[in-house]
Amino acid sequence: MMNVETHKLRIVEVTRDILFRKREVLFACIFGSFVEREDYQDIDVAVYLGKLQNVETLRFELFLEEELERSLGVPLRCPGYQ
């Protein structure tokens, strides 16, 4: 079984790898309880996107959140995209 630090590092690496492949993502950061404490219930990710049409932005948000949750196996919260 993985220790907490190793598990969190894996989550950061997987998140980074997924976001790095998305040309729409200009900047992203993980924040909240995941960063501040050992025990967390979800992962807060702030994502800043380049220019997209409103419909494209919504589609991209939903697709990205679903892809990250599926890859990580942890609930994800993206509180508003730019």
Domain chopping of the chain, boundaries: 4-77
Residue 27's pLDDT is: 93
| pLDDT at site 77 | 67
The CATH code that applies to domain 4-77 is: 3.30.70
Check residue 5 and give its pLDDT. Answer: 85
Model pTM? 0.79
Count CA atoms closer than 13 A to 6's CA, side-chain side: 3
Q: Do 49 and 25 form a contact (C-beta atoms < 8 A)?
A: yes
Q: Give how far the C-alpha of residue 77 lies from the chain's centroid of Cα atoms, to the nearest Å.
A: 7
pLDDT for res 82:
41
HSE of 38 in the Cβ direction (CA atoms, 13 Å)? 4
Q: Which residues of the chain have pLDDT under 50?
A: 81-82
